[in-house]
Structure 1
Amino acid sequence: MYLISTFENLLIIWAITLDSHLHTPMYFFLINLSFSDICLTSTPVPKMLMNMQSQKRVITFEGCIMQMQFFKVFAGLQKFLLVMMAYNCFVAIRHSLHYTCIMNPPHSVFMVVVSWILIPLHALFKD
């Protein structure tokens, strides 16, 4: 399942980057969502595979905390990217004539960069 999920997300990223017609803000957010999904599913898998290979089911406290932090970061990032995609659809419907002015490429990149900065800080200080 892990390989299928990773392959599908890599296929989405590859297809969007190859087709120049898909270089719009919605697909830019979709690329970032696919990348964060790869990272989210890759967080617990290495330790799980080590446990299955060695038949030991032990994780250190530090390893557990690290794994939980990465999981919180990528899960939070996915939520934030879905909100940005919803905002993109809202702007496309509500302000259709001003869509290209509001959702221009620098604005989309700014929104993603801010999410990559704020989400780890939020995950660090939450709980």
Structure 2
Amino acid sequence: MNRLLATLLLIPAATAFAQGTGFPDGATAPSAVDIQQRLTGKAFDLKLADGSMWHVQYGNSGDYDFKSSKGFADHGDWKAEDGRICSKGIKMPYSCNDVRMKGDDLYLKRDSGEIVEFVEAH
């Protein structure tokens, strides 16, 4: 009985990890300054669990351009807060998402709970 209970308790944890809903172990919340330095003036690709891609260009003056491989595009403003990125597009409403860093890697928690990694586009 104890084995069955232990197995049932582990299934949700394994499922959450497989779906990418938790930040990597040891990831920490970066400061607003660290986020700004990491993103400003750079472009990133983010691969989602469904296989689609996001491409985000963060401008030097607090603006961003967003393109999805599914055809959606938007432009708007962004700002960094401690442990969060906030943005508002022409089409997308104001939203803030948690971010964490592990080493030089930056991760974002989507509204769906999925964790995606910023990969600098070259």
Query: Which TM class, normalised by the smaller chain length?
Result: under 0.3
| Structure with the higher fraction of residues in helix conformation | 1
| Structure with the higher fraction of residues in strand conformation | 2
TM-score (norm 1): 0.26
Whichever of the two has the greater Rg, that structure is 1
Flag the structure with more relative contact order, 1 or 2, with Cα contacts below 8 A and sequence separation at least 6.
1
